[in-house]
Structure 1
Amino acid sequence: MKIEILKSAKEALGRSFKGKNVVVIDVLRATTVMVTALENGAKCIYPFKEIEDARDKCKLSQNGLLAGERKGMKILGFDFGNSPLEFTKEKVEGKEIYMTTSNGTRAIENSIDGDNLYIACYLNISAVVNKLLLDTKDIIILCSGTDDKFSLDDSLCAGIITQKISDKLKVEMDDFVLSLEKLARYSPGITKVLEGSKHYDYLKKIGYKDDLEYCTKIDICNVVPFYIAGKIKTSS
């Protein structure tokens, strides 16, 4: 099995993902929101690059909620921002969520031609690994990044996925993937690694310290969201 890791949503443009399992990561915070919402009973999530597309499609739903952010802040008129702590069972159970974010939903739309497209974060990392180990397809892990640049929070998560898979079977990887696998293997802890990184510190600065604590928890969710026909739903 070969594992490739892409550094940002932009790196997916023009790439073919056919024949591969794709994993999209945006731990701070879009994919953490998706995992949390589906764990709490949301029916499905529709990802969009553009704000107006999300608004227009949500108007057609009788059971829809709008969620999204720009520069980490809730979009005016939306039901939710991008804090996973907002997506409680009481608010989202049985609902359709129409979502647009700065990086995560772009990454998804840029990689939809893969054989399977899974949504990962720290919360469901082992569940995703177990799903990936069910077949021998090569894997592309797409880190959403921040503003089309490398982001340590996503890349560490990608490294942990790689490390867990390489503990089970032989993995072919280049030096970049190997560096992230080794970072994960010898990490002193997620928070210690991420402290001082750009996006982590930015979210702390604008008041999302509680989100950071939640987003860096390991294996508290069992769902494996996957993308199919324009929406993200829970894998069985």
Structure 2
Amino acid sequence: MSPKSIRVCLSPALLPFYDLSDTIAVVIDIFRATSSMCYGLANGANAIIPVEELAECLSYRSNGHLLAAERDGKVVEGFDFGNSPFSYTKDKVEGKTIVLTTTNGTRAIQRCIGAEAVVIGSFLNISALTDWLKNQSRHILLVCAGWKNHFNLEDTVFSGALVHRLKTTDIELDDAAYAAESLYLEAQGNLSTYLSKASHSKRMQHLQIAQDVAFCLLEDQVSVIPILKGHELVPLTLPHLL
């Protein structure tokens, strides 16, 4: 086996160029899908089913699940809610299964199928995720959901934060990992101010949901690590070594 590596995929459009074998894929959509996934499972949701299309999400309505849909930062009409973390509180999701489709995050998850494992990362669970990844022997691929296949700042900065926490002299980094870490080191002194210039942060401010941005930048609010089992995201049971 080659030395353990950490690679950063800066857009889901680049995923076809990565070998997912012997690899843990960490899907990252900081504003807001993966933050809400972590928060929802921490608040007692049974599972979250990520799907790509609105029609597929609607097909679950007869199952009694909560249906959540977001497009371009807005809740889609006819669904229970979108991907704001404030929709994933204990009183709303405990004991429920949520079917979720979003502009970027759920699509990135689907494109990672084939990896040894697919887990979910956010600032909300960064320390728990870091500790778990440190104990894994597989390669790590940090997958930025981006915005409609374009690079985005917040997912890349979070990838850099993980690289900074995980790197050792025995781990190989690719160029994107070095670049992501450099962005994080520039941002870490004032993450909120730095990411306020991100296009999606501005988009959310325009939609008057700036409080979501602030919440999604809080570190270590939960210890849950969502992992894809079949077609569902469920809490990872520790220890879980790969």
**What are the superposed Cα offsets for residues 64-91 of structure 1, whole Å, 9 maximum, x if unpaired?**
1001101110011111111111111011
| TM superposition score normalised by structure 1 | 0.95
Instruction: Write out aligned runs for 1:182-201 (5 A).
Output: 182-186=182-186, 187-201=188-202
Matched, 1:98 2:99: yes
Q: Which residue of 2 aligns with 1:218?
A: 219
Q: Which residue of 1 aligns with 2:174?
A: 174
CA distance in structure 1 between the partners assigned to 2:214 and 2:39 by the alignment = 14
CA distance in structure 2 between the partners assigned to 1:58 and 1:18 by the alignment = 35
Percent of counterpart pairs with the same letter? Answer: 32
CA distance in structure 2 between the partners assigned to 1:13 and 1:50 by the alignment = 20
In the alignment, structure 1 segments of 5+ residues that lack a partner are: none
CA distance in structure 1 between the partners assigned to 2:16 and 2:73 by the alignment = 23
**What are the superposed Cα offsets for residues 84-126 of structure 1, whole Å, 9 maximum, x if unpaired?**
1111101100000000000000000000111111100110011
Give the letter aligned to residue 136 of structure 2.
Answer: D
Runs of 4 or more above 6 Å deviation: none
| TM superposition score normalised by structure 2 | 0.92
State the shift of 1:169 in Å.
5.5
Q: Which residue of 1 aligns with 2:206?
A: 205
Q: Which residue of 2 aligns with 1:50?
A: 53
RMSD of aligned Cα (Å): 1.3
State the shift of 1:192 in Å.
2.0
Q: Which residue of 2 aligns with 1:22?
A: 25
Give the letter aligned to residue 175 of structure 1.
Answer: D
SS at match of 2:173: coil
Q: How many residues align?
A: 233
CA distance in structure 2 between the partners assigned to 1:163 and 1:170 by the alignment = 14
CA distance in structure 1 between the partners assigned to 2:151 and 2:75 by the alignment = 23
Select between 117-126 and 4-13 the one with higher mean Cα deviation. 4-13
SS at match of 1:178: helix
SS at match of 1:189: helix
The answer on whether the counterparts of 2:10 and 2:176 sit within 8 Å (CA) in structure 1 is no
Residue from 11, 22, 25 that aligns with 2:14 = 11
Residue from 40, 44, 47 that aligns with 2:43 = 40
